[in-house]
């Protein structure tokens, strides 16, 4: 049978439950995923005075072909985007600035250092998001930045974050879609602290100074991101979930939830509905933690499906900003982007094909038998046929055929670097 014929049969199966598959496919086209650039070069960046990766972040593997400059990275992103259905965004860190060989300290970065990225984004119809880089730097070597006891070091990072928000605003103004500028810091202690409060006071004061400088919310959206622990901050992290949740709520900022930044028994999917009750918007970094915040490539597992279901069933596709955050140097990096992003989109499609309103009604009626039965049955409904049709309709490879294009790109481009 053809892809179209399989699609028509699957459409009938879903129609029985009141799911308009054609409408779902059209709606999915308009859901952007913010694809992180740092998978392509193992979070190294392109600073002239490049520093060793630090801040509790680790990338393992030595698969050949990583990008060594911005042009190579953009080329690799273009290849990945050609294999992913839909129109999406690209998420940058400050370390991906282009300074034409000049040493420019991070607190001196300006929009002009990202002009090539903006030009490229315009050519490809992409939005851009942004992150100040508060790791892999001599002024972060002791694991403290915005909460540092040294005022001079704090001011350096405060100015970097202020400049970053201006760069995000520049992206939004130029591209006609607001940039999400997200602040994450590595600050914490390896061993049990004798004072948890004072560093958090300093962090709050630093953030207050950063956000005191206004940016236009039509072009820049501010987010803050927590973490439970990292390498070198196993016992205490200054920017905890409770800290940033309260800070975001009090100061009308977005709270960004990273799926790897919580205790192993916590799930981000379980937090989404609570967050949406009190916040107009919510930001996500979707990763795959394996025993810790290991940032494995996103797979179509139960938690990814549950995240998508929480977004869809709560009618929050326009309220949740979905970004990805993983990095694996042991496999082809273009393939990693393709696998992870396609899986995120698959999860959203799966969630949109579930008769969520009917399942809600069963719960309200206390009909838990039918609720469980149907939730399980829908796991094997023919959503794969809908996915194949969607990929074909969007002009990208169907099923695993994309892998042949990645293999060819590896031979023609990546292995020649």
Residues with a catalytic annotation lie at 184, 225, 227, 258, 261, 285, 293, 295, 325
Rounded Cα distance between 396 and 82, Å, is 7
The owner of tokens 């992409």 is 126
Q: What is the dihedral of CA 360, 361, 362, 364, to 10 degrees?
A: 90
Q: Are 129 and 117 in contact (CB under 8 A)?
A: no
Provide φ and ψ at 2, rounded to 5°. Answer: -80, 165
Q: Are strands 127-131 and 236-237 parallel, antiparallel or unpaired?
A: unpaired
Please give the backbone phi and psi of residue 276, each rounded to the nearest 5 degrees, phi first: -70, -25
> What is the spatial distance between Cα 199 and Cα 235, in angstroms, rounded to a whole number?
14
**Radius of gyration of the chain measured on its C-alpha atoms:** 22
For residue 394, the tally of other CB atoms under 10 A from its CB is 15
Backbone angles phi, psi at 254, to 5 degrees: -80, 140
Measured distance CA(92)–CA(113) in Å, rounded: 12
CB < 8 Å & 24+ apart, contacts of 24-29: 24/349, 24/352, 24/353, 24/386, 25/386, 25/389, 25/390, 25/393, 27/317, 27/352, 28/86, 28/345, 28/348, 28/349, 28/352, 28/390, 29/85, 29/86, 29/87, 29/394
Element holding 225 (H helix, E strand): strand 220-225
Task: Count other C-beta atoms under 10 Å from residue 305's C-beta.
Answer: 19
Largest CA distance in the chain: 68
Task: Return d(Cα 148, Cα 361) in angstroms, integer.
Answer: 52
Q: Could you give the CA distance from residue 137 to residue 103 in angstroms, rounded to a whole number?
A: 13
Determine how many CB atoms are found less than 10 A away from the CB of residue 90. 23
């Amino acid at each position: 049978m053809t892809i179209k014929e399989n699609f028509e049969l699957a459409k009938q199966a879903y129609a029985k439950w009141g799911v308009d598959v054609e409408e779902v496919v059209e709606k999915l086209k308009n859901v952007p995923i913010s694809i992180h650039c740092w998978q392509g070069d193992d979070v190294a960046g392109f600073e002239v005075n490049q520093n060793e990766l630090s801040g509790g972040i680790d990338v393992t593997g030595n698969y050949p072909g990583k990008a060594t400059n911005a042009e190579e990275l953009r080329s690799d992103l273009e290849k990945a985007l050609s294999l992913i259905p839909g129109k999406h965004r690209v998420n940058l860190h400050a370390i991906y600035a282009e300074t034409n060989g000049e040493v420019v300290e991070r607190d001196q970065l300006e929009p002009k250092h990202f002009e090539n990225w903006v030009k490229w984004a315009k050519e490809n119809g992409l939005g851009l998001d942004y992150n100040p880089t508060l790791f892999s730097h001599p002024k972060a070597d002791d694991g403290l930045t915005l909460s540092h006891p040294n005022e001079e070091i704090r001011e350096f990072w405060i100015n970097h974050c202020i400049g970053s928000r201006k760069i995000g605003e520049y992206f939004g103004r130029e591209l006609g879609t607001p940039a999400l500028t997200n602040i994450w810091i590595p600050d914490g202690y390896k061993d049990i602290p004798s004072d948890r409060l004072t560093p958090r006071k300093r962090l709050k004061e630093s953030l207050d100074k950063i956000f005191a400088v206004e940016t236009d919310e039509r072009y820049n959206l501010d987010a803050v991101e927590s973490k439970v622990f990292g390498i070198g901050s196993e016992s205490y992290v200054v920017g905890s979930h409770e800290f940033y949740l309260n800070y975001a709520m009090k100061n009308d900022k977005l709270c960004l939830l990273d799926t790897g930044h919580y205790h192993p028994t916590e799930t981000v999917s379980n937090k989404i509905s609570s967050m949406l009750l009190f916040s107009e918007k919510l930001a996500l970094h979707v990763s795959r933690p394996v025993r810790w915040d290991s940032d494995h490539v996103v797979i179509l597992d139960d938690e990814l499906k549950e995240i998508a279901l929480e977004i869809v069933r709560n009618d929050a596709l326009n309220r949740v900003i979905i970004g990805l955050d993983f990095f694996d140097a042991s496999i082809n990096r273009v393939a990693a982007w393709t696998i992870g992003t396609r899986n995120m989109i698959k999860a959203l499609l799966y969630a949109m094909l579930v008769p969520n309103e009917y399942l809600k009604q069963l719960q309200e009626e206390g009909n838990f038998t039918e609720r469980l039965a149907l939730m399980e049955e829908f796991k094997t409904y023919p959503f794969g046929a809908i996915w194949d049709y969607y990929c074909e309709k969007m002009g990208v490879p169907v099923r695993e055929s994309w892998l042949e294009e990645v293999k060819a790109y590896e031979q023609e481009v990546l292995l020649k670097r």
